[in-house]
Chain A
């Protein structure tokens, strides 16, 4: 069972994602902010991170950079309520992005694709 780490400062979003993604067959762990996120990833070893861009004390795009620099191949999906984030070039380091919605169909599709990505070792 793939393990997904959801990072979002809104509790109802964390609850919604936990419920829906668990029902879809994933193991879900959550974080309310970016505090010690890298250590958390190192300890919990998720297969994929779903990352909110605008959090009260953290910028998701900066966290994305930190994750990328440490975990070169970790799939990361950015979630946002606004699509203006695409103006920041850092966003292209994400595997995918989705606009936040209560319908998680798109997110589930992107999660499945990101987990399916395969590059063989040489």
Chain B
């Protein structure tokens, strides 16, 4: 009755290692953590798998980094909108009664755009109102990479690596909205809500690192490695805490839009990639599809079995605007985002890949990416996993 089964080759390998007295004597908790990391075979070193447990715009908010102040909360913003479309103070007061649930407000907000004097949907036509000039970040620190190789006066410094010349205009554009602000490990509220709302439907993102070699004390040896980031065929399963459950098995979706493989080097437990193009399908409610050019990735392989890092590069800014514009007034009223304001900010601060008019189509950015242990199975791999060559403890087929 039993049929072919997969097995944890890595687990067997680690078990053998743990049984050696030398390993037991010095591995300590780090060894326990490394055992918890699902592993599979690799030609050099091991393969470690993860499921992405957090991916979003990297924030590093500090007091004073928005010298013009933070962008207003929704109630103030909506009052301004109503005033700008010609409502008297008394009318504004009347409309704001019961905010944000006053049904009379939404149509006014949604149709506040004007083209040739006609009302239009502001989210579909974000340039149909004047630039509201949202406040932007003037601070010193932001996560990311020096993408253009230059160190300019207004560039950021990465707070983790101290790399200068960091290009992260996306953070500059959004970082003065209340709901985008946080100091790690805290998560900004808007991305956190967006992430949480999409987890149960969106197929998970998964990471594999090939070529990891651990020392006896659990630290990672320096050397070459390859990182894969893919979309899985199913979503994460949540544990009791509402977080993704670790050690689950994920099958990689063969959709060519979500296949990313990049080489790099591990140094002091941190993987740093070569440049690559990162393309991933996301959730329509968030960003339908990422296409990060000239991307760089750094991933810290932590002793507790998780990974955390930064993915940076140049991302076309229009899909990012869609993330704000698509939900329409819901975002503006509930999350205090000024959709056309963001449109203008992204457009102005875009810093790469100009079109024929000279308008830059992409904006430098940085995303935080975190992963917890998981088994990641590529479509062609089950037979390889169970082969005698790669799996000396090969599973028997009944």
Q: Do these two chains interact?
A: no
Chain B contacts to A: CB under 8 angstroms = none
Chain A contacts to B: CB under 8 angstroms = none
